[in-house]
Amino acid sequence: MAAETAALLSCADLCLDIGGVQLVEGLNLSLFPGQSWCLLGRNGVGKTTLLHTLAGLRAAQHGSVWLGAQPLRRLPRKQIARQIALLPQHQQDSFPASVRETVLQGRHPYLHAWQWETAEDHQLVSGFLEQLELASLQQRDIQTLSGGERQRVAIASLLAQQSQVLLLDEPVNHLDIKHRLDLLKTLDRNYRAQGRAILMSLHDVNLAARFCTHALLLLGNGAVRQGPVAEILDAQTLESLYGYPMREITFAAGRAWLPD
């Protein structure tokens, strides 16, 4: 019998609260190779807090986070950065830098002190600039970019990081329809199809159903639901999640939901 595949990132009995408000209570979650998880819930329910906790940027009130077989809290940040990449909701650019320089920062976890990026690093970055339609902008100052362009630069930097786990906080923010679909296809090609794992917060349920294998729903007051997308997403569950009537539509490509 083949050995059971180990989780890339997991948490056990995780409890999170802010200001006395319970966001997550007793969460047990495991991200396995080849999985793409969507994180769904209303505004303020704790999606960002959970992502930051799983990335090791925030301590939980209770429970533990594991990177493979090791407790996350015991690992040095450089080692974590080689295995987990986090996309925050907002990008802050305090200093001028070119698009290429910014994407190259994704290679910094692999560099030693005072080491410059290698030719292989530049080649890798050039590939992701092409995939995300940024090659023509690579010498542009990031402070001159539109919101959608800046978002694609942030994603390119994370892809260059070549981590095993990708944690994304609203990755399609600022993007038009074409770039939303192109981005999610790129993530699928570079992560799920290569045996890595993704957890991303989304507000578009239909994109989640189309591109994700699993769903984690934050219902409020600490309650969660999780499981395969095909089993867990339905009109009744989404109505409960968002507090609004939903209508399910079935067509050749699958299912979709619209506000009723």
Q: What pLDDT does residue 1 have? A: 35
Q: How far is CA 91 from the centre of its chain?
A: 15
Of 1-10, 140-149, 217-226, 227-236, the least confident:
1-10
Structural domain includes residue 235? no
Residue 246 included in any domain: no
pLDDT attached to residue 4: 63
Q: Considering the domain boundaries, does residue 256 fall inside one?
A: no
- State the Cα–Cα distance between residues 212 and 228, nearest whole angstrom: 9
Q: Does 2 fall in a domain?
A: no
pLDDT digits over 173-202, tens only? 999 999 999 999 999 998 988 999 999 999
The number of beta carbons lying within 10 Å of the beta carbon of residue 73 is: 13
User: What local confidence, expressed as pLDDT, does residue 22 receive?
Assistant: 92
CA distances from 193 to 30, 35, 36, 244 (A): 18, 9, 10, 34
Domain extent at residue 207: 9-227
Look up the pTM and report it: 0.94
pLDDT for residue 19: 85
Q: Where does the pLDDT of residue 66 fall: very low under 50, low under 70, confident under 90, or very high at 90 and above?
A: very high
Is 162 within a domain? yes
CA distances in angstroms from 142 to 43, 123, 171, 252, listed in the order given: 28, 20, 18, 41
Which residues, 6 or more positions from 60, have their beta carbon under 8 angstroms from its beta carbon?
A: 11, 14, 15, 16, 53
Tokens of 31: 């991200």
What's the distance, Cα to Cα, between the start and end of the chain in Å? 49
> Does 199 reside within a domain?
yes
Compute the average pLDDT of residues 156-183. 95
- Whole-number Å distance between alpha carbons of 200 and 181: 15
pLDDT exceeds cutoff 80 at 3: no
Asked, for residue 205, whether it belongs to a domain, the answer is yes
pLDDT band at 2 (very low <50, low <70, confident <90, very high): very low
User: Mean pLDDT across the chain, nearest whole number?
Assistant: 93
Give the CA distances from residue 188 to residues 34, 72, 218, in Å, rounded to whole numbers and listed in that order.
Answer: 9, 25, 23
Q: Residue 213 falls within a domain, yes or no?
A: yes
Give me the number of domains the chain comprises: 1
Return the pLDDT at 170. 96
CATH code: domain of residue 34 = 3.40.50.300
Task: Give me the sheet containing 197-201, strands edge to edge.
Answer: 84-87, 165-169, 197-201, 36-40, 214-220, 223-228
User: For 209, left (φ over 0), alpha (ψ -120 to 50), or beta?
Assistant: alpha
Q: Which of 202, 164, 163, 161 is nearest to 183 (CA)?
A: 202
